[in-house]
Structure formats: structure tokens, C-alpha cells
Chain A
């Protein structure tokens, strides 16, 4: 009698630990998710395993990252700029910080050199000689 009763009844599991873990995971993903697009995601970078690794430490707040798309779209933080706008931005920065602030060029590997040259020429015209290019050291994304 007693045996029969226990076999038909649903076995009750304690859900609390599982719910705890799942909530922890959700909070982790919510916190790490970045919804805003503050860079041009269409750019495909070339591999460069031997360059200096870009970390939070060697990226000072004065760093300026200029993006050059496949077809020559110039942007900073995914905001499209004309060449004259880029020139005035660089001029202002040079006036404020001097010509030694780091400039990174994040150019698509399929972009022709002519398009990158335009950006480099604008930098040179603003007095910035030292330029850095961004490459992928270790691919992690899909």
C-alpha cells in the first residue's frame, strides 16, 4: 500500500540551487552584454601575431582610433566623418594634447592603400608622424 503510493507520486526535486545558478548566469550575461555599437563591426582586420598586444593598460584615454572601412568610410566610434572633419578633429587634439598622443588606424584588410593613405596624409598634415595599425593577435570571435 505504502510502496504503491510512492511510485505513482512525482518525485519532488529541490529547484532552489538550479534557479540560483541560472540567475547568476543571467546576471553575468546581462552585465557583459554591450548593446551599443561604438565601432564599425564590418571591418575585417588582418592577422598580426607579432605586434604589441592592445590591452586596457596601453590604451590611454587620449588614444584616438580611426576606422577605415572596405570602401573608404572614415569613422571614429562608428560615426562617419568627412576628411575635413577628421582634419579639424585631429587639429584640435594636437592643439590640446600635443602631437604625441597615440593614433590607431583600424583599417579593413581589403581596403586599398589609397584609402588608408588619405587618412595617413591627414594625420601627417595635422603633425602626427607616429601611427599604429590595428591587427588581430588572437582571433576569438566567430
Chain B
């Protein structure tokens, strides 16, 4: 009897851990499910010339013309696919990286196509990009 009482005092009281572990696991699962990894973003820069310069963009030398239409791209007057455009820009980039590229967008073309065109120009290191709206 005396022994039992002595033991009770010396021992730390046993806590029931089960509810706490349940709650903590619930929290953990909640946070694991709700966490969302961020995409790695990139920026594509281009110049937007003043409207008065808009009048005669075709007069400059070394000018490459990309028209972004709702259906696809038109490069120097010829309709091209994205892979085609990639190949043509690559060829021009070997001659000159500073050639002026004019990207003209029609009003109803989706913004994604413009980004694709800008991405290709950035891929081949073209520096002089300007965006016109039609």
C-alpha cells in the first residue's frame, strides 16, 4: 500500500495523447491539401512605340514583320505555323540580333499568341521588338 502511494507521487502523470495527435494530424492534412506551389514566371519585354511613329513602320531596314491573327501567324506576308516562325526567326537571328521586329496584332487575336511570338523572339535573342495594334 505504502509502496503504491510512493510510486504514484514519483511518476509523472500519464497524459492521453490520442486526441492531440488526432487534431494535429487533421491540421497537417489540411495544410498539405491546401498548399499550392507557385509557378516559376518569366517576363517578355517589348517596346510600345508612340502612335505617331506608328504611321510608317515599314520604312526601316532589317525589318521583320510578324502579324498575329486569330488563326495564327503571318511572317513577312506569308502565313506560317509556330514551328515555321521559330525556324525563320532563328535564321534571321544568325544574321543580326538587332534587326527590328515589328509584331502587329489584330484586335481579335488572343493574347496567348502574342506571348508565343514574343517567346520565340526572346529564344533567339532578338532585341528590338515593338508591338503595334491593328
Q: Is the CB of B47 within 8 A of A136?
A: no
Task: Let me know if A90 is at the binding interface, CB within 8 A.
Answer: no
**Which residues on B sit within 8 Å (CB–CB) of A104?**
43
Question: Could you mark each residue 104-142 of chain A with 1 if its beta carbon is under 8 Å from any beta carbon of chain B, else 0?
Answer: 100111111111110011011000011111111111111
For chain B, the bracket of interface size reads 35 or more
Q: Is the CB of B110 within 8 A of A136?
A: no
**Which residues on A sit within 8 Å (CB–CB) of B20?**
19
Interface size in chain A (residues, C-beta < 8 A): 51
Q: Is the CB of B28 within 8 A of A29?
A: yes
Q: Is the CB of B35 within 8 A of A33?
A: yes
Given A51-B119, A51-B122, A129-B49, A134:B110 Cβ within 8 A: no
Shortest Cβ distance from A2 into chain B, in angstroms? 20
**Which residues on A sit within 8 Å (CB–CB) of B2?**
none
Task: Let me know if A54 is at the binding interface, CB within 8 A.
Answer: yes
Given A22-B28, A45-B41, A139-B39, A113:B123 Cβ within 8 A: no
Given A26-B24, A54-B41, A129-B48, A109:B17 Cβ within 8 A: no
Given A136-B42, A137-B40, A117:B105 Cβ within 8 A: yes
